[in-house]
Chains A and B, each alone.
Chain A
């Protein structure tokens, strides 16, 4: 085993456990278990908020898969990845203060709480949302676990199953005992590790390649397409690349793991700080990581498995102990995404389904027990799914994100900014969004040359607006009389 690489990783995992134990003290002392466990009692400051946002969407798809694709595609893929800079400011500006005010007013703890209150306690809104979160995020989570296990596998030489086991135990323990506060704090550390790690590997790679000009010349000599915006075989069209502005850029406002952070911050000062820090950090990490993938090509030609580009290049260009420290970065990226997904899915089951419909009278103690159990069981389920993994890490992951965006984007945005939007519009928009996404994804992938997610988002907007306008008057009167 490669000890100089492994020891820093072990230290990293141990320090994350400490955060879990430290956070569990807050949970013990909190008067409102659900609010503390799933939301950290809305106490996030600006720096933590920025880092936890960045760490959540800068997931395995970008840290492991992304550089791998950039290695194959060249600068065109870096261009595509830069669409993610928008998330740094757009999400918080658009959800922003309005979402924070609504969430406090409604005492919402999850995205579904918000939708439920906004749309007149509609049962269908809650059930469809919970269903979509559980299904889509579950598959996203499996993809991330596979990434984490692959990484540990390639670093330590353990076989895939034991690597997966180590990863699973590490994540499960701190999420189960620590809840959201532990997730946010570990995200912060992981964000810092990612930032510094990207910087160090990037510098190391440029030096190893003999300077940027030299690397570019090597790339042009190998295949001139690598330095164009069109990909190694010219297949990245402007329309396709631009459509990623929706998928990984503005559409991110609708992801439940992101919206929950937009209701967890302390005050508007924290939000302002997070806007600036978040934009800088996400932009730098995206640019740096993907460039590393491209620059690695002349240094280490002929890597076949894209996912292993990042670990291999780090071990190639850095001394082993330093490689160990910075390789904690991709591991951090994966863990920080997985932990928040796990918590979101668990909150969908516990808060949105169990407390709302199965046992509304549950005591604090019962809720607590159910929360720990559900989080644990979910973890074990993902573990078993990840044991025999499909090979397409990035796509599995993006499939899930697109599905969630098609479901939630209009109910969230219109719910905030269009007061005539109602529960019928929301339900119609979610159903149209999910079903058209699955149909287009299966039968007409990349319709008209743009990413699959674009048309479902347009269709669900249409559905939201038409149905809201058609069913407007009858709705509020009948519903008010039946609910109140």
Chain B
């Protein structure tokens, strides 16, 4: 059986770094989402301010938060993600 994985495969270094970026992004996303939603949203409704007609907590947390995440994902992918070849060792037939 020739399907042993080489743990020192240099491609895994790239893959591990990208996975960490994913975890970093999701933590940032969560903090942004949670902070605005419950930070601004816990005030009494009469005191809500509105942005583009939406309650401010909702606008910053869900609408702006989404736009920010899209921008961050684009930056991460364009600047830090490396292309690797998946089929490098396909030649060795088993």
Contacts and interface: CB of A to CB of B under 8 A. Distances in A.
A275 B73 contact: yes
A477 to B, nearest CB: 16
Given A242-B34, A279-B70, A287-B66, A212 B53 contact: yes
A293 to B, nearest CB: 14
A184 to B, nearest CB: 18
Contact of A216 (B16, B53, B62): B53
Nearest to A225: B45
Given A101-B11, A117-B3, A283-B70, A90 B22 contact: yes
Nearest to B88: A101
A93 B61 CA distance: 23
Given A101-B9, A238-B34, A93 B90 contact: no
- Label chain B's interface by main secondary structure: helix
Residue of B30, B37, B82 ringed by the most chain A CB atoms within 10 A: B37
B53 A104 contact: no
Contacts of B63: 287
A8 interface: no
Contacts of A298: none
A220 B45 CA distance: 8
Contacts, number: 145
Interface string A58-81: 000000000000000001001100
B45 to A, nearest CB: 4
A213 interface: yes
Interface string A275-315: 11001100110010000000000000000000000000000
A82 B62 contact: yes
User: What's the interface size class on B, roughly?
Assistant: 35 or more
B25 A107 contact: no
Given A85-B69, A216-B50, A106 B3 contact: yes
A161 interface: no
Given A75-B55, A229-B41, A97 B15 contact: yes
B84 to A, nearest CB: 5
A436 B39 CA distance: 34
Interface string A198-237: 0000000000000111111000100011011110000000
A96 interface: yes
A249 B25 CA distance: 12
A55 to B, nearest CB: 19
B58 A75 contact: yes
Interface in A247-286: 249-250, 267-269, 272, 275-276, 279-280, 283-284
7 contacts: A79-B33, A85-B66, A89-B25, A94-B22, A242-B30, A272-B83, A275-B81
